[in-house]
Structure 1
Amino acid sequence: MKDLRIALVQMQVNIGDVKKNREKIAGFVEEAASRKVEMILFPELCVQGYNRERAREFAEPIPGESTNHISRLARSFNMVILAGLAETSGSEKPYITQVVAYPNGQVDKYRKTHLGRSEKPHFTPGDQLPVFETEKARFGVEICWDLHFPEVTTVLSLQGAEIIFAPHASPTIVGDRRDIWLKYLSARAYDNSVFVAACNLVGPTGENQEFCGGALVIDPKGNVVAEDFRGKEGLLVVDLDSRLINTIRHNEATSMRHSFYLQSRRPELYQLLVNTRLIN
């Protein structure tokens, strides 16, 4: 990995107002470009807004109008853009997708693989865990609920991911969002020796929904690098220092403190236990 400047967006969206939401995305990208950002992360379903019941109504194909818009921004501002939208699936239930648009015009995507109980009646789960790559870093995407499943981050790290981008659509609930995230996002980062960069929708959507916001970056040792939990729209710009993760990943550590723990896994034991339980 090389040193990298990223930005995380807390964004208020209006359900179904795709034009206005895309204009807001463009404004954040332009601001990020003025601050020399190289990769920018937008929240889950930021293009159409997060609404389970109406997602099918606003879903778009990929490639499509919104994807083309995001791709043009990536080319114009020489930036990798990760933005969330509802993608048509060929069935009644769309995917929750994070588009990855590159400055060279290439477009990739990740489809949310783990759906919450309230999402399953309305969305189709993805079935792949891809790792993407730029000249500076390899990265994976996990969308909101995905982060509660430790195996996902482990699989991505074993495939070479150095950063996990974590777009959220987490509502305002009882409990502090920072405290909730730190319980498990720090564990995902520490156990798998990855950066975790998370952001969230913020504010009301106009349809009896409100999101609590939050932006957070955690380093490969589980330490908070930068954060913004003021509960309002904004851009958090963070410089990722590659020295720590390179020390861990390239076996340059002089003590066990910087071990890459995944290299010491014994998967034959884990599989044996799984098989034993299935037999019993």
Structure 2
Amino acid sequence: MSTLNMTVLQQPLVWMDGPANLQFFDDLLGDVRGRDLIILPEMFTTGFAMEAATRSLPESDVIAWLQAKARAAQAMVAGSAAIQVEKGAVNRFFLVEPEGKVHFYDKRHLFRMAGEHQHYLAGERREVIEWRGWRILPQVCYDLRFPVFSRNQNDYDLALYVANWPAPRALHWQTLLQARAIENQAYVAGCNRTGSDGNGHQYSGNSLIISPQGEILAEAEPYQPARLDAALSLESLREYRDKFPAWRDADRFHFC
């Protein structure tokens, strides 16, 4: 598929209330049709809470809900949730296909300034998901600050960042999203929440969809719930990378 129709949902979250958040997104997703990919924020069932994995919805419930939403929309539905697994708690980014197939990536870089590294286990590997002809790199919030981990090795077309990124660092959020697009010659989408959480942190959203050249294709109004839509062109991406093949001169490296 040359064109990927994507939607980013910048929304407030109810603190530590899984059923309330699922009901909210149930109502919202009822109006989303004709898309290929729909993105929800980080920890969309709870907000960014250190105790969320043990006090929120079990993984089976989150997956079942995402499968139902993906099936109804005939689109991949994606977002992260705090999940308790056998080895411990993880911040897991789910990407679920309409036919029910589940992909996931566990957040690699844990936000130590909030103690996330003391409550969650870091993901062990980078993931690239293939969907309708597109190669998609899922990333979560603090991952955005670590460009080596998201370096395009000619293996993805679109990077997705879901976040609970606080308002005081909104400039960092926008600047780094644009940098990741430019340096990796890939589309980038950032889905951030709005509202306030149980710790009193404010979130301005500032969600973005960005072209491989760093141009803003869609931008949400700060502090307001918003739906961003964009049509991404794989043909245009390939033409740009062919005409300006900076990726051919990238330094070779591998992850340990």
Q: Give me the TM-score of the superposition, normalised by structure 1.
A: 0.84
What CA distance in whole angstroms lies between the structure 1 residues aligned with 2:154 and 2:26?
A: 32
Are residue 37 (structure 1) and residue 23 (structure 2) matched? no
- Paired position in structure 2 for 1:20: 20
The 5 Å alignment of 1:84-103 reads 84-91=80-87, 93-103=88-98
- List alignment gaps of at least 5 residues for structure 1: 272-280
Are residue 262 (structure 1) and residue 254 (structure 2) matched? no
Q: What's the CA shift for 1:230?
A: 2.8
Is the partner of 1:47 in helix, strand or coil? Answer: coil
The 5 Å alignment of 1:146-161 reads 146-154=143-151, 157-158=152-153, 160-161=155-156
What CA distance in whole angstroms lies between the structure 2 residues aligned with 1:30 and 1:237?
A: 16
- Paired position in structure 2 for 1:208: 200
What CA distance in whole angstroms lies between the structure 2 residues aligned with 1:124 and 1:214?
A: 28
- Paired position in structure 2 for 1:56: 53
What CA distance in whole angstroms lies between the structure 1 residues aligned with 2:27 and 2:154?
A: 34
Is the partner of 1:21 in helix, strand or coil? Answer: helix
AA aligned opposite 2:141: C
Q: What's the CA shift for 1:103?
A: 0.8
AA aligned opposite 1:196: V
Say whether the 8 Å CA contact 1:97–1:112 is kept in structure 2: yes
What CA distance in whole angstroms lies between the structure 2 residues aligned with 1:85 and 1:124?
A: 13
- List alignment gaps of at least 5 residues for structure 2: none
What CA distance in whole angstroms lies between the structure 1 residues aligned with 2:174 and 2:91?
A: 24
Say whether the 8 Å CA contact 1:220–1:244 is kept in structure 2: no
What CA distance in whole angstroms lies between the structure 1 residues aligned with 2:28 and 2:215?
A: 27
Are residue 79 (structure 1) and residue 75 (structure 2) matched? yes
What CA distance in whole angstroms lies between the structure 1 residues aligned with 2:251 and 2:48?
A: 40
Say whether the 8 Å CA contact 1:29–1:73 is kept in structure 2: yes
Deviates more, 1:96-105 or 1:181-190: 181-190
Say whether the 8 Å CA contact 2:77–2:96 is kept in structure 1: yes
Q: What's the CA shift for 1:48?
A: 2.1
Q: 1:246 aligns with which of 217, 235, 238?
A: 238
The 5 Å alignment of 1:126-275 reads 126-154=123-151, 157-158=152-153, 160-173=155-168, 177=170, 179-249=171-241, 251=242, 253=243, 258-259=244-245, 261-267=246-252
Say whether the 8 Å CA contact 1:214–1:229 is kept in structure 2: yes
Structure 1 residue runs of 4+, over 4 Å off?
Answer: none
Deviations 1:98-155 (A, max 9, x none): 111101110111110011212111111101111001123110111111011111221x
- The root-mean-square deviation of aligned C-alpha atoms, in Å, is 1.9
What CA distance in whole angstroms lies between the structure 2 residues aligned with 1:61 and 1:230?
A: 32
> For the pair shown, which has the larger CA radius of gyration, 1 or 2?
1
What CA distance in whole angstroms lies between the structure 1 residues aligned with 2:197 and 2:173?
A: 22
Q: Give me the TM-score of the superposition, normalised by structure 2.
A: 0.91
Say whether the 8 Å CA contact 1:189–1:195 is kept in structure 2: yes
Deviations 1:48-68 (A, max 9, x none): 22112x223325554x01211
Say whether the 8 Å CA contact 1:12–1:233 is kept in structure 2: yes
Report the identity percentage.
22
